[in-house]
Amino acid sequence: MQAVRAKIAARALAPGDRLPSIRRLAATMGVSASTVVEAYDRLEAEGLIRARRGSGFFATGADLPPLALAEMGALRPRAVDPFWVSRQSLDSDPSALKPGCGWLPADWMPTGALRKGLRALGREADALLTDYGNTSGSLPLRRLLLGRLAEEGIAAGPEQIMLTGSGTQAIDLICRLLLRPGDAVLVDDPCYFNFQALLRAHQVRIVGVPFTPTGPDVAAFEQAVAAAAPRLYITNSALHNPTGASLSPQTAHRVLAAAAAGGLTVVEDDIFADFEPALSPRLAILDGLDRVIRIGSFSKTLSAAVRCGYIAARADWIENLVDLQIATSFGGPSAVATELVAGILAGGSYRKHMNETRLRLARARQEAAERLAALGLVPWIMPRGGFYLWCRLPEGLDSSALAQRCLADNVVLAPGNVFSVSQSAASFLRFNVAQMADPRILASLRGAMAGQHGTPVGLNPP
Amino acid sequence: MQAVRAKIAARALAPGDRLPSIRRLAATMGVSASTVVEAYDRLEAEGLIRARRGSGFFATGADLPPLALAEMGALRPRAVDPFWVSRQSLDSDPSALKPGCGWLPADWMPTGALRKGLRALGREADALLTDYGNTSGSLPLRRLLLGRLAEEGIAAGPEQIMLTGSGTQAIDLICRLLLRPGDAVLVDDPCYFNFQALLRAHQVRIVGVPFTPTGPDVAAFEQAVAAAAPRLYITNSALHNPTGASLSPQTAHRVLAAAAAGGLTVVEDDIFADFEPALSPRLAILDGLDRVIRIGSFSKTLSAAVRCGYIAARADWIENLVDLQIATSFGGPSAVATELVAGILAGGSYRKHMNETRLRLARARQEAAERLAALGLVPWIMPRGGFYLWCRLPEGLDSSALAQRCLADNVVLAPGNVFSVSQSAASFLRFNVAQMADPRILASLRGAMAGQHGTPVGLNPP
């Protein structure tokens, strides 16, 4: 393949030129005829050559697909906005260090179970491997999720749960169902940056409610409900992103009461549930899926390469959400993905894996906190689970500027203001304690902090 | 429903107010009690009213009814609407016969290659199995697709292509980028039913252009461009769904000229490309991806359980579409899916499989046409590829009524009007020639046709 590509690139094979016969090239290259057939097939699949029946292979004259795809890895400079962390974390080259990213390293994930699951899939019935699934998603996986809801004390029927392409897509469908441009939506300040990106796509007014170590500030929440008449509140009740805090029972009760008084719907994104050592209060449990919608996914605990989320909600909403998912994606997640997830969740190994992961994270959290403390970074709280540490910088340092500097060292940080509607978190960074092993991370951070201390406070680059 | 909605909107029915009893409203409106029950049921599903056991229906005070797609055009699962075929085909039990569905049977698909691909995935690196992919999607698959575009004569760079969760999601992202509620969008009449469902979700005006055996009626297209000032035209140029027709060079040129004159963007859904025996004219080729956006997927030729679509377009649009996909799905298709697709496309076996499938379809098409002719059903055209036959019923028969009757025999048909914006295709059915093997299908159809001939023409149930 390389030989033919090189000849075409060097114009030694012009458009329309016949390629050597399979037998001749095999002899010349000292390989088997079947190797040449395979190489020609692939070159044809790439569009570089084409077979004409009975007369051999010819160069097509198609420009080589730019080899420069790798150059796409060089990211253009972008503003530190709600897309910043996503783009930097997802598109950085594999050698980048990513203490700012929102997932566990590959070697923390249950790869053995995934490999086993893929092999098992290879033995499944034809129809499972080729057909669209049903519109609500794989029944075995929905049953498993209903069982988990029942364990939490939420009695829900199969008509109250559907699978989606991802957790984010679950929220997007809900926004499509319930929001109109110009509506107000409450989020925590700080909150997961992609809530803001998503809500911007819906052209709604985003109203931030200050977040406390026990959940949203209730007085501010009540005031925002009264002032903005929001249609929706989107939150993580357990192991909140970015702070790692969890809702207290009192805050849960008062937030739900305020939501009821204001007639607003709550989307509870429960993506970090399995990282909790014990179940903390949930709005969906108090409410019983009346005005609270539960969403979740398996990207953080199982695999982000096997996309699958879910929505548990009122049956009438689910029916409309299923229609919306047909209209906008022609169905839910890949059956290949849902069978894989269901197989792993149903096996006993998943619970064992999560037990180990929680212990490992507790150790990593402690270590990271100590190493960050040595730099003067102080955790806002010490979370009871998960992988985030929300840390305050020493006086006068700006986290966006630090993130830009560390990026030059190929270190991706998560600066506070990408999480903050009010842009009041400039002195915070979110760290992922599972992504802190490499000593170059703290070295880069130390260097950036030292460099920044030389610039006057308040004049940091935006 | 409109009467109750109007009363609520005008505050003539305040929250908590009791609605007229079913019997009373039926008498007032001069309709049957069952019509009122149906209307109340729908209003309850929308959250506008709520039943209290034994005491009637009450206004809820929910001021903003959620975006039930049903609101926008009489869409309930029981109605023969653009969701009818999707819901029936996707959610029917496995024993259902589905000559109306839009995909090949499992035993026509390359299951051997899929199984091999899944086993190969099980040996991939940890990171591929656990991490989010990059934001534009798998590099090898994008390179393959660029190669295929080059083969067609479209020179596109890597910044002009992205992968999406599905073909439908590709169109949805484009609609999100380019459309605002109230915009006009042109579609063919008839067209793929889900284009209508998708456009309703975007709350745009759908304008149908009569379709001819060589593409859209050019004069009508030009007139619609002038009259409606549409922002977008969505079409299948090759092996059009539902008719199987392909664009002629003259129509392609004139449609593109009219689109340019009207300043509208064209979305060319190329999902059936690999079923063509030879490349027919494409708007994207004539245009070179300037105002035409190419989308496609692998659901029809490879597997619908491995969801993956793509968009090829102007680089500035792709950049915005990637951001939109991050915001609304946190990235593109599963890396597990894209590796599987790339592996199969790159191997030589895919082309061999498609060669065989085309021959097999040609035979099945001929057979199906003969058997349908015996019932008096005549193909509108004989397509040069693909699996659809768009057939006209004998005079006086209504395809929606036939579809409802055959459903009782567990046979899912695709009645013409689900494809028709103007509802002018009541005398057509779309058949899938690969799903016609079971003799019970034609037996059911024959029975339904005989039964319907007993009812007066024009009085067929809707």
Query: A32-36, A267-271, B157-161: lowest mean pLDDT where?
Result: A32-36
Match 């292509």 to its residue by tokens.
B161
Closest by CA to A308, choosing from A275, A341, A330, is A341
Average pLDDT over residues A275-284: 96
Q: B127-139 pLDDT, tens per residue? A: 999 988 889 998 8
**Residue B225 in 3-state DSSP?**
helix
Residue A267, SS3?
A: strand
pLDDT band at A63 (very low <50, low <70, confident <90, very high): very low
Q: Tell me what the mean pLDDT of segment A402-427 comes to.
A: 95
**Mean pLDDT, chain B, whole residue set:** 89
Contacts of B456 (CB under 8 A, 6+ apart): none
In this structure, of A339-348, A405-414, B49-58, B79-88, the range with the lowest mean pLDDT score is: B49-58
Q: Are B182 and A346 in contact (CB under 8 A)?
A: no
Look up the CATH architecture of domain B111-346. Answer: 3-Layer(aba) Sandwich (3.40)
- 3-class SS at B431? strand
Where are the CATH 3.90.1150.10 domain residues in chain B?
Answer: 84-108+351-453
Higher pLDDT, A42 or A202: A202
Entry field: residues in chain A: 462
Per-state percent for chain B, helix, strand, coil, to nearest 5: 45, 15, 40
Residue B288 DSSP code: T
Q: Which residues pair with B235 in a beta bridge?
A: B268
Give the CA count within 13 Å in the CB-facing half-sphere of A200: 15
Nearest to A318 by CA among A173, A149, A180: A173
A368 with A341: CB under 8 angstroms? Answer: no
Q: Nearest CA to CA, how far is B307 from chain A (Å)?
A: 6
The predicted-structure confidence for A99-108, as pLDDT tens digits, reads as follows 999 999 999 9
* First-to-final CA distance of chain B: 19
ipTM reported for the complex, 2 dp = 0.81
Fold of A72-109+351-453: Aspartate Aminotransferase, domain 1 (3.90.1150)
Q: What is the pLDDT of residues B342-389, one digit of tens each?
A: 999 988 889 999 999 999 999 999 999 999 999 999 999 999 999 999
Residue B29 to residue B39: CA distance in whole angstroms: 12
- DSSP reduced 3-state for A45: helix
- For residues A252-266, give the mean pLDDT: 97
Right CATH number for A132-346 from 3.40.640.10, 3.40.50.300, 3.40.1350.10, 3.90.226.10? 3.40.640.10
Token pair recorded at residue A103: 């997932």
**CATH 1.10.10.10: which residues of chain A?**
2-59
Confidence class of residue B33 from pLDDT cuts 50, 70 and 90? confident
The CATH number assigned to the domain with range A2-59 reads 1.10.10.10
A351 by DSSP, 3-state: which?
helix
Q: Residue B45's pLDDT band (boundaries 50, 70, 90)? A: low
Q: How many CB pairs under 8 A join A and B?
A: 304
A279, pLDDT greater than 70: yes
Q: For chain A, what is the mean pLDDT? A: 89
Chain A residues whose beta carbon lies within 8 Å of the beta carbon of residue B326:
83, 86-87, 90, 194, 197
The alpha carbon of A358 is separated from its chain's Cα centroid by a whole number of angstroms, namely 20
Compute the average pLDDT of residues B84-113: 91
Task: Answer whether A296's CB lies under 8 Å from B124's CB.
Answer: no
Minimal-distance CA residue of chain A relative to B150: A62
Q: Inform me whether the pLDDT recorded for B9 exceeds 70.
A: no
For chain B, residues classed under CATH 1.10.10.10 are: 2-66
Runs of H (alpha helix) within A314-398: 315-329, 335-346, 349-374
Is residue A365 a contact partner of residue A382, using CB atoms and an 8 Å limit? yes
Structure letter (DSSP) for residue B13: S
What pLDDT is attached to residue B422? 96
Best residue in A168, A330, A338, A339 to probe B by mutation, most B CBs within 10 Å? A330
pLDDT confidence of residue B76: 40
Residue of B nearest to A89 (CA): B134
CATH 1.10.1740.10 assigned to domain B2-66? The reply is: no
Whether residue B395 is predicted with pLDDT greater than 90 in this model: the reply is yes
- Summarised one tens digit per residue, pLDDT across range A127-172 is 999 998 889 998 889 999 999 999 999 999 999 999 999 999 999 9
Q: Give A8's pLDDT tier (boundaries 50, 70, 90).
A: low
* A131 contact residues in B (CB cutoff 8 A): 103, 106, 304-305
Q: Where are the alpha helices (DSSP H) in A164-217?
A: 167-178, 193-201
pLDDT in tens, A281-309: 999 999 999 999 999 999 999 999 998 99
Closest by Cβ to A91, choosing from B70, B111, B135: B135
The CATH superfamily label for domain B84-108+351-453 reads: Aspartate Aminotransferase, domain 1 (3.90.1150.10)
Band of residue A27 on the pLDDT scale cut at 50, 70, 90: confident
Q: What's the gap in Å between the CA of B235 and the closest CA on chain A?
A: 16
Residues of chain A with CATH 3.40.640.10: 132-346
Q: Distance between CA atoms of A289 and A160, rounded to whole angstroms?
A: 9
Nearest chain A alpha carbon to B156:
A65
- Interchain pair B307, A172: CB under 8 A: no
Which of A126, A197, A320 lies at the smallest CB-CB distance from B326?
A197
Q: Give dist(CA A431, CA A367) in Å, integer.
A: 12
**Number of helices (H) and strands (E), helices first, in chain A?**
17, 14
